[in-house]
Amino acid sequence: MKIRIWLYSLIGIAWCCVGGSSAFGSELDDSFTELRSEAENMVNEVDINRKVVSSKRLVRAALKHLEKVSVERACNDFIRNAIWREGELFISIFTDEGVCLAHGDDHEQIWKSIKNVKGVGGGPLITEMLSVGARGGRVSYLWNNGFRSAYVKTFVKDGMTYVVDCGFYPENSEFATKQLVKTAISYFAQNGKEATFALISNPNGPFVKGDIYMFVYNYKGVNVAHGNNAALVGQNLIDLTDSRGKPQIKDIIDVAKNKGKGWYEYVWKNEPKRAYIERMVDPSTKIPYAVSAGYYPKITLPRVENYVKRAIGFLKSNGAKEAMSEFSNVVGQFAIGGLGIMVFNYEGKCLANGINPAYTGQNLLKLEDDQGRLYVRDIIAAARKSGKVLLSFALANATAIIYAENVETPDGKYIMASIYYPSSKISSTQTLVNRALDYFNDNTAESSFDVFSGRSSNFVRGDLTVFVYDEEGTRLVNGPQKSQIWENYLKLSDQQGKSIVSDLIAIGINGGGWATYQVRNARRRIYVKAASKTLKNGDVKNYIIGSGYFL
């Protein structure tokens, strides 16, 4: 099992192209249309606050249950009784040495240990769980290739100490931003100023999540930590203003000083940004600080696509020399919030990079994402093959969706791309299903099912996994859990009597789409598409490939 500490979601899992590799152009356009329409017209009803409250409530209920019965009896109840499930929320129990005793209905985790898993500062995760759990609180870590936020509380029985854990996989920039700040403050209390500020200023550290990073100021306006530009550390930026002239640093300090905590909106690099701020006081020196992190609420996939196309137009109109210089200018017209244009030649040399200008001039074919995937190599190969592609990788502790196009001009041939960090279960679910469909189209059914079922595969991302049914309703894949494979679920209904599998088959055959059901005491939204394989006898067998999440 690969587990790594995180500070909220998405980094991620490495996925591949959206749309099938055959007839790629039309399928990719359809995928873009789906992502646009779903993101713009479907309300993302994932209630993060409810899940925060529910996870805490379930832990408290589990503690009361443990007071009444033995640990063995309680663990049996937690893994088998449906009353301990609410959507993806379930109870986990760990010993003080990190041995798992219960983990919802995922029985394969029982007896496995997390004692070697590292926490935020490099220490054991179980140590952090015990520390936070002594008073009750949230911890964050990577599980099943996804970032999990869990409420933990310790309890003692018969002289033994245990940790009760209940969590979920959020994909919400507001929640991520707030959790980064709160986790940093908690880390500060345990590890002190120097260790915390150094970790915040590490661009590859756990306090960076995609294009969300942290920054800390004392009340004089001196920057003491910065996750995006370490060169700012030590500078007095009290007079710094945003893109519209607002006294950004003064306002941030004012929120911390006079309100204690809160949200603040400003414009950074010509893009609206929303920052969460809290006051933090050094217990030894009594010096107060304004601790903050922010996100860009209006960056969407369609905007990223249009952004790349605008850059392509600039390249064709102004020539390669002027374009490459402008793309790498961090204050130029293509510097928009956390966005930046990347340009590569076919050999992997970076010709421009508005996200990290230091990469310009380097050959990046061997550059790896967080999961060891050679993502620049894959971007170039896919764009050369298909003209335009939508890829996903694990970068900066987050899921990075990269839109890229192959461009030919009199000056040369280029791959132009930009990165978008989604914060929506909608886009993540669709991307996963389209990725699975693409893999299925390029491989045999059996090998595809094997990969979809692998616990460490790229098709398992937190609570998002792939399922497959044949057209008769037989379940062939259920993520990494195989206990219900080969059972027929055609007549399966949800808790309100609504047909599930038969409806999903109909939706898939008729072009694919979304459906919502009431299961496990919560609403679940599912996205499906149809696929087919020609058998050796010439017959065509149809399948439904899908994934879903709890609202």
Using the 3D structure, point to which of 295, 325, 346 is the last residue of a domain: 295
Q: How many helices (H) and strands (E) does the chain have?
A: 13, 22
Q: Does residue 492 lie in a domain region? A: yes
Adjacency order of strands within the sheet including 100-103: 100-103, 92-95, 160-168, 146-157, 137-143
Nearest CA among 476, 534, 542 for reference residue 509: 542
Do 231 and 186 fall within a single domain? yes
Do 413 and 309 fall within a single domain? yes
How much is the pLDDT for 428? 79
By residue count, the chain amounts to: 551
How much is the pLDDT for 165? 97
Q: Does residue 443 lie in a domain region? A: no
How much is the pLDDT for 12? 27
- Name the least confident of 50-54, 157-161, 455-459: 455-459
Using a cut of 0.85, tell me whether the model's pTM lies above it.
no
Q: Does residue 3 lie in a domain region? A: no
Nearest CA among 513, 518, 523 for reference residue 31: 513
Do 129 and 223 fall within a single domain? no
Do 370 and 283 fall within a single domain? no
Mean pLDDT of 361-385: 92
Q: Does residue 4 lie in a domain region? A: no
At 479-500, the pLDDT tens digits run 998 888 999 999 999 999 999 9
Do 413 and 377 fall within a single domain? yes
Q: Does residue 331 lie in a domain region? A: yes
Do 456 and 491 fall within a single domain? yes
Do 288 and 341 fall within a single domain? no
Domain count, the chain: 4
At 255, which CATH number? 3.30.450.20
Mean pLDDT of 215-227: 97
Mean pLDDT of 216-224: 97
Calpha distance 177→149 (Å, rounded): 13
Q: Does residue 5 lie in a domain region? A: no
Do 179 and 160 fall within a single domain? no
Burial 474-511 (b: 16+ CB within 10 A, else e): bbbbbbbbeeeeeeebeebbbeeeebbbebbbebbeee
Do 281 and 310 fall within a single domain? no
Do 285 and 360 fall within a single domain? no
How much is the pLDDT for 46? 65
The secondary element (H helix, E strand) that includes residue 152 is strand 146-157
How much is the pLDDT for 30? 44
How much is the pLDDT for 484? 87
Q: Does residue 10 lie in a domain region? A: no
Do 312 and 290 fall within a single domain? no
- Structure confidence at residue 18 as a pLDDT band (50, 70, 90): very low
Using the 3D structure, point to which of 233, 264, 295 is the last residue of a domain: 295
Contact 391, 404 (CB under 8 A): yes
Above pLDDT 70, what percent of the chain? 91
Q: Does residue 386 lie in a domain region? A: yes
Q: Which domain holds residue 375?
A: 24-39+300-420
Using the 3D structure, point to which of 295, 321, 353 is the last residue of a domain: 295
At 32-87, the pLDDT tens digits run 444 434 433 444 456 888 899 999 999 999 999 999 999 999 999 999 999 999 99
Do 178 and 291 fall within a single domain? yes
At 105-150, the pLDDT tens digits run 888 899 999 988 777 666 788 998 999 999 999 888 777 777 788 9
